[in-house]
Structure 1
């Protein structure tokens, strides 16, 4: 192995070539298909969509998959507003840009075909399905049962799109049959209630999949095909397939001539956690192993595999063939290259926040909470900080080095620090606590689900250290301090603070803040009222309930968690319920006594809650220093929650954009 690439020595099985059909993949890392909503509504590939793939093509992954294309001229199968199309020759030139840039970077190109089935949100009032079984997800269109003529036409649409994909230069064609998309709808006994040859037992329910594979193979000849299938639907309580039936469907796909498998778990309608932080890393590898024991073709998997150690071990043990990455390479496009170069400390790990999925479900372009450049890869206002990739997209070193003082070592201040220091500025970050990370540190104290989030703060700190941003903890800053230091610019990244409720009794000793509770600076009694039901209130409420406290969360909003990701909030609400916490929506705190809190609901009805402690979890901007600092420095910038209370993504983007432009 080359000394230039120590990662090849540490993870040799990740760098072994493998064949899918007759096509050799140079390593075992695959960028998985990712819908991104970057393309035109008619399905044309845009420059934004191209540059997103360009950066993943530069990643060092051996196999790079572009998003699933829709194939129906009437857009009936389209699931996302910015999804690319391939039902006509006119789309080939755009798709070809993806194939060409993947080839230019030495990777194998893979085009996914995706009829979104019951998950389709098309221009029509219905979505296609084997049967008209209603969906649990109210945002989706009601399914309409396909006629046999519709079925045959849909199979031909797959065939035509595959032909066009090969014409565009793709090396492999992948068929999507997961998470509630059309092929999985046919396979599942939950959604397929047909009594003809396309329904009934598992063999009948797989007929649509088998005929699709056969027609695609017939159209593209020796070009290899992959299919993505659920190895476990997690829909049995609704009449879905058993794991044994899922294995049968996978074996039928192999018998139909498929050359490779990507196995997944769960549907979008499943009520089980699959890819959220409460599921441990590597948890689903036994599913891949089960499939490997049943088939003789390469098996890949993506779910909850963010770092190289577990997939490498699984490949070494013969339980997996290829490590797929979707969200990990949204967060860090150059993850495979950093592994190869032995730079694990430089990998910006996904925090499984699923903000990317929230964007998809809301039909807006995908963003990432930890990667401020996601979707901006070709935008000169978002230059690259690291050394990877095309030189033309790198941030330029500043012509005018400045002494910059940053107040606050949370995610906004740290992101600014790493970017500005990388460009040559002299950056000093001052944090009043003995640790950095801001609210991420407090959140990490609340339980295992949040520990992965803290890893991002550690990465930011390491990058600041690497690029020369000086971090000073345990140092409180005021205007006099700034005046004495005399910096050329000041960045105020002081984050948010818990608001003081303006009600009678607020001056009592039983009123504390959520941040002090999470940091261990304050203790709560046995009966606790948490005032504020957004993210901070939920984390605090769970933290206290898990200690056996009796918790009531009071929020002015309709229900708790209105600011929390739609992919997560159902799980948090369930966890609160399981821990015995009570929630009170459309309610306000009106008075605090020695042993109770008085709240009033939307109808004006007052209720007295027994309590030993009131915990404020309503956050407001901590911007007290802004005006005093502006009196002693002419160049002052306010970022993150100090400017306006939001979520992590805003703080990171604010810090990054200022860092690359100042």
Structure 2
């Protein structure tokens, strides 16, 4: 606390005192049941957030209407009927029991709603830019009045459920935001026109909710900068003014966000520097008198500490950092920053929502399993029998397995041939701007392994003879993948991105998955290259998160990268590659050839594991080349059962 006095000083929102300046920010999880009821899984998740030390813990958004027009996610909570109050009360109770103030978000998803219907509601019919969302239908004046009533009724249920405060949401394309924005509001009645009229729905909702719940604090999330200039959205000045209008209507606090889901620039990905958007929150704070808060890439505690001290914000909101580690606040307050499981802005959590799946986290496999003892969120039971475990490879899978196994009481040794931990993450961390953040969980896992007593041997090659000398009970092969297509004159990603092998001006990359596109992006950022990417798959980047794929594709279009899909490499020759594709056979002239084709471990470890007398396991890319999420999850789950 001494290092971060401003984060941990008490604050005030309305009539309530808050123990510190950290608020867990609302996000959907898809943990509740599809019928709107709260699940045990959701309660356990919220309990973990409350135990983590935040001053305020906010639920996911709950939709307020009975038709489901406000429902934007398959597993979204509902607050449209009294029958949901008991489940919501469980969340309020578990938050309060663990020392935090409970906040519930009321969310009508509007343009992004109607997930179980064949339409969505909007102030005006503006075609969807993103095909995922439903076709728009213009909301009638009667339906607007009903939406206000729905929000008020939902707020009254929240009060009955025992929540301390209420949060309204007017961001990213949800109902209230679509009325505020010139981009989506073309109405000519009293709900359209100038900014004040476009804010009318917001004002009516705030005033109605405030009148209904009395002195219970009510806040609202609004967009400080839509980043929709190319689509005729609000100016920055209009967005800031909308906060002042919300304050005038009675909002007790204001949460500042940036961008819509339709914005055509990065907002929360790694290429956006941490703390980049704080100037927008600062502009809002200068315009209002109630507390102002913001999330958005404040992943390191010194960033909000400086922002609060400098008067840019009053509270910091944390969503993804506390998905990755609910104990973020407590660990910071106790001086254990090195043990924080760090968010890497991979956005796997958010992207899964749009595949109707529960959120997962690349760096925390226990997400969504906080209430299940076997997953060890609150600690593992000691193993019944202590075993000697040898882990080959100090990448994410090997480190995670070693850390969990050691926590369970096993004697664990990691052999890593390089002088650094990280495995293929050392390569991935060089792909694009901000990718070095991928190294943060490696540092944390290394720290946690050492704390758990793991013997980490760097620069230590391991072969079958080593295994014989060490005589482990358990052999864990986490040595990474085999690389297909390697022959004389063919380079690997490691050759180019780690060993510094020179490539010529014309480059052929075999494979258009995440590794191949990563190599292409790395080269495009490094110099001027004429790049051809060849793959027999139908689409590029099938294993790349959509939050990043659109950026990669935009860069490759700009730099005129040739993507040859549904095309096979038939032969690799000096200075050229023979191919066969939809247009027949052909030749691509090239100066350098790079293969990004990965396969499970097919070298000495396959035979060694087969003849090993003890338990032998393959995890991570050695088992099957996949994403970081899968590697860490492999390691965690194996560690669980050892």
Shorter-chain TM range is over 0.9
> What does the per-residue CA deviation read over 1:21-58, in whole Å, with 9 as the maximum and x for residues that have no partner?
11111100000001000001110000011111110010
Name which of 280, 284, 290 aligns with 1:297. Answer: 290
Report the equivalent of 1:627: 607
Deviation at 1:11, TM superposition (A): 0.3
Is 1:640 matched with 2:633? no
SS of equivalent to 1:14: coil
Structure 1 gap ranges (5+): 1-7, 385-392, 502-506
Greater CA deviation, 139-148 or 555-564? Answer: 555-564
> What does the per-residue CA deviation read over 1:453-502, in whole Å, with 9 as the maximum and x for residues that have no partner?
1111111111111211111122222222212211111111122132116x
Deviation at 1:623, TM superposition (A): 4.0
Distance in 2, Cα, partners of 1:446 & 1:265 = 26
Deviation at 1:123, TM superposition (A): 1.8
Q: Do the aligned partners of residues 578 and 454 (structure 1) sit closer, same or farther apart at CA in structure 2, a change above 3 Å counting?
A: farther
Distance in 1, Cα, partners of 2:354 & 2:575 = 44
Greater CA deviation, 449-458 or 576-585? Answer: 576-585
Contact 1:415–1:652, Cα closer than 8 Å, also in 2: yes
- How does the TM-score come out when normalised to structure 2? 0.98
Deviation at 1:581, TM superposition (A): 3.0
Contact 1:233–1:265, Cα closer than 8 Å, also in 2: yes
Contact 1:127–1:141, Cα closer than 8 Å, also in 2: yes
Distance in 2, Cα, partners of 1:566 & 1:632 = 41
Distance in 2, Cα, partners of 1:197 & 1:17 = 42
Distance in 1, Cα, partners of 2:303 & 2:184 = 34
Q: What is the number of equivalent residue pairs in this alignment? A: 640
Distance in 2, Cα, partners of 1:475 & 1:581 = 40
Contact 1:531–1:617, Cα closer than 8 Å, also in 2: yes
Is 1:540 matched with 2:519? yes
Report the equivalent of 1:387: none
> What does the per-residue CA deviation read over 1:578-598, in whole Å, with 9 as the maximum and x for residues that have no partner?
344332222221222222223
Deviation at 1:81, TM superposition (A): 0.5
Report the equivalent of 1:458: 443
Report the equivalent of 1:402: 387
Distance in 2, Cα, partners of 1:629 & 1:191 = 60
Deviation at 1:75, TM superposition (A): 1.1
> What does the per-residue CA deviation read over 1:246-295, in whole Å, with 9 as the maximum and x for residues that have no partner?
11111110110100000000000111100001100010010011111100
Report the equivalent of 1:250: 243
Report the equivalent of 1:443: 428
Report the equivalent of 2:554: 574
Report the equivalent of 1:196: 189
Is 1:118 matched with 2:119? no
Distance in 2, Cα, partners of 1:633 & 1:269 = 56
Distance in 2, Cα, partners of 1:288 & 1:599 = 53
Distance in 2, Cα, partners of 1:497 & 1:301 = 44
Structure 2 gap ranges (5+): none
Deviation at 1:603, TM superposition (A): 3.4
Deviation at 1:637, TM superposition (A): 1.5
Is 1:239 matched with 2:232? yes
Name which of 629, 633, 636 aligns with 1:649. Answer: 629
Report the equivalent of 1:477: 462
Distance in 2, Cα, partners of 1:260 & 1:435 = 46
Contact 1:199–1:205, Cα closer than 8 Å, also in 2: yes
SS of equivalent to 2:256: strand
Report the equivalent of 2:37: 44
Distance in 2, Cα, partners of 1:206 & 1:608 = 60
Report the equivalent of 1:318: 311
Deviation at 1:236, TM superposition (A): 1.4
SS of equivalent to 2:375: coil
1:172-211 to 2 correspondences below 5 Å: 172-211=165-204
Deviation at 1:354, TM superposition (A): 0.4
Greater CA deviation, 622-631 or 157-166? Answer: 622-631
Distance in 1, Cα, partners of 2:561 & 2:115 = 40
Is 1:528 matched with 2:528? no
Distance in 2, Cα, partners of 1:240 & 1:377 = 41
Distance in 2, Cα, partners of 1:368 & 1:465 = 23
Distance in 1, Cα, partners of 2:233 & 2:40 = 41
Deviation at 1:16, TM superposition (A): 1.2
Name which of 244, 268, 281 aligns with 1:275. Answer: 268
Is 1:67 matched with 2:67? no
Distance in 2, Cα, partners of 1:627 & 1:95 = 55
Distance in 1, Cα, partners of 2:590 & 2:39 = 57
Distance in 2, Cα, partners of 1:473 & 1:590 = 40
Is 1:602 matched with 2:595? no
Greater CA deviation, 641-650 or 258-267? Answer: 641-650
Distance in 2, Cα, partners of 1:230 & 1:290 = 12
Distance in 1, Cα, partners of 2:500 & 2:186 = 58
Report the equivalent of 1:372: 365
> What does the per-residue CA deviation read over 1:213-243, in whole Å, with 9 as the maximum and x for residues that have no partner?
0110111010010100000000111111111
Deviation at 1:448, TM superposition (A): 3.0
Distance in 2, Cα, partners of 1:646 & 1:547 = 26
Contact 1:174–1:226, Cα closer than 8 Å, also in 2: yes
CA-based RMSD of the aligned residues comes to: 1.3
SS of equivalent to 2:77: coil
Distance in 1, Cα, partners of 2:58 & 2:337 = 24
Is 1:82 matched with 2:62? no
Deviation at 1:514, TM superposition (A): 1.3
Distance in 2, Cα, partners of 1:200 & 1:366 = 39
Contact 1:483–1:633, Cα closer than 8 Å, also in 2: no
Distance in 2, Cα, partners of 1:583 & 1:514 = 18
Contact 1:381–1:657, Cα closer than 8 Å, also in 2: no
Name which of 72, 89, 93 aligns with 2:86. Answer: 93
Report the equivalent of 1:265: 258
Distance in 1, Cα, partners of 2:197 & 2:429 = 49
Name which of 54, 58, 78 aligns with 2:51. Answer: 58
Deviation at 1:445, TM superposition (A): 2.7
SS of equivalent to 2:7: helix
Contact 2:218–2:253, Cα closer than 8 Å, also in 1: yes
Contact 1:490–1:636, Cα closer than 8 Å, also in 2: yes
Deviation at 1:189, TM superposition (A): 0.7
